Amino acid sequence: MNPARNLILVGPMGAGKSCIGRRLAERFGLRFVDADRELEARTGVGIPTIFEVEGEAGFRARERAVLADLVRDEGIVLATGGGAVLDAGTRALLRARGFVVHLHVEVEQQLARLARDRSRPLLARGDREQVLRELAAARAPLYAEVADLRFDTGRMNAADAAARLTDALLRSWQRGEVTA
């Protein structure tokens, strides 16, 4: 049903990329791939370890390589990491290889969704709310640049968001808004 090569989800941590992505993949009969889990599988270590050993720059280089490899496939729903859009080359690659959906969520909802999550390196460095606000300010224009469609996941559970996003995608594709 997806007229694009791939359906690619971008957005901040806690927006629902993985949860919603799995449901979309099932709905459209596509394979689901979580870029962060794939990176961990390929390196044999968790993302916090990569950050600790190589820093954010090292992690982003690995992320870029994994994403470039993943989008060579067709027929996937790809959940990217929240910072995947930081690299201009990656943004161009994502747009060229799929229909990109920006899953948006407000900082307040992120805080609630991530309250017990201690696995995210960027949230381990101080005031979580301040970190999320800074990330949102820096990344929002990049999500907008790469996205074919913006969808707000706030105040919805994953099942409801996936159902509503499915409807929005079908409407968008029926209007011929496909870039890949």
Binding-site residue numbers for substrate are 36, 60, 82, 139
Amino acid found at 163? A
The token pair at 50 is 């990569």
Burial 54-92 (b: 16+ CB within 10 A, else e): eeeeebbebbbebbeebbeeeebbbbbbbbbbbbeebbe
Binding-site residue numbers for Mg(2+) are 18
Contact between 46 and 119 (Cβ < 8 Å): yes
Amino acid found at 59? F
Binding-site residue numbers for ATP are 14-19, 120
Binding-site residue numbers are 14-19, 36, 60, 82, 120, 139
Q: How far apart are the first and last CA of the chain?
A: 14
- The residue written with tokens 């640049």 in the block is 145
